[in-house]
Amino acid sequence: MHLTRHLPEAHTLARAFGWFSLALGATELLMPGPVARGTGLHGRHMLLRAYGVREIVTGIGLLTSRRPGLWMWARVVGDAVDAGTLARGRGGVQSQVSLGIVAAVAAADIACAAALSRRPRAAQARHDYSDRSGLPQPPSQMRGVARGDFEVPRDMQSRPRVRPYTPDPAAGQPQEPGASGPRWNG
């Protein structure tokens, strides 16, 4: 699933994160003791309850908003706060495992928030130019048209002194005796 291309899928995922936030928030709010033991945040019950309230508010925002992009970014900020709290925790392996879980959820939150933040493209009629050649007439009729009336612009012409000299006997230009080919101006 490529979230940045399929906004309907991102909206569905945002709703799923809304339900996840409600469940996680209720768990943190109502059972901070087991959550503290599981995450290595012993004695931080009030902090976990506050995080639970934050999750519930974010979940409600995701489920009720018609444009859940800002609420997904609120989840990303919450993930950063959670990661900072777990990184400072002294729970050893429990904190490290919890930090890994928060990092994985944060990556999914960021992908969903980025997909929701992209502006949808306006519904436009797509034009098909595959049958166009760029010529005003068919190529068979355009062949040689430019040669007929084309004149090299003056600033693109070669200078007279670098043009090859070709004698014109009809114009009375003499050819050097013993010269077998054209003479060059120098």
- Residue 12: inside a domain: yes
Break the chain down into helix, strand, coil percent, rounded to 5: 60, 0, 35
- pLDDT for the residue 175: 54
- pLDDT for the residue 4: 46
CA 73 → CA 20, 48, 68, 153, distances in Å?
15, 20, 9, 61
Copy the structure tokens of residue 82: 């959670």
Copy the structure tokens of residue 1: 């699933």
- pLDDT for the residue 3: 42
Q: Identify the residue whose tokens are 């929701």.
A: 116
- Residue 37: inside a domain: yes
- Residue 33: inside a domain: yes
Q: What's this model's pTM, rounded to 2 decimal places?
A: 0.60
Of 4 and 77, the structure prediction assigns the larger pLDDT to 77
The secondary structure of residue 164, as a DSSP letter, is B
What is the distance between the alpha carbons of residues 47 and 164, in angstroms, rounded to a whole number?
92
Side-chain-side CA neighbours of residue 119 (13 Å): 3
- pLDDT for the residue 173: 59
Is the pLDDT at 177 greater than 90? The verdict is no
Of 170 and 30, the structure prediction assigns the larger pLDDT to 30
- Residue 61: inside a domain: yes
Are 18 and 62 in contact by the 8 Å Cβ rule? The answer is yes
Is the pLDDT at 103 greater than 60? The verdict is yes
Are 53 and 29 in contact by the 8 Å Cβ rule? The answer is yes
Q: Which domain holds residue 110?
A: 7-117
- Residue 130: inside a domain: no
- pLDDT for the residue 59: 95
The secondary structure of residue 171, as a DSSP letter, is G
- pLDDT for the residue 41: 86
For the chain, the average pLDDT equals 81
Of 152 and 44, the structure prediction assigns the larger pLDDT to 44
Q: Which amino acid is at 10?
A: A
Beta bridge partners of 164: 184
Comparing 4-8, 41-45, 146-150, which segment has the lowest mean pLDDT?
4-8
For the chain, the domain total comes to 1
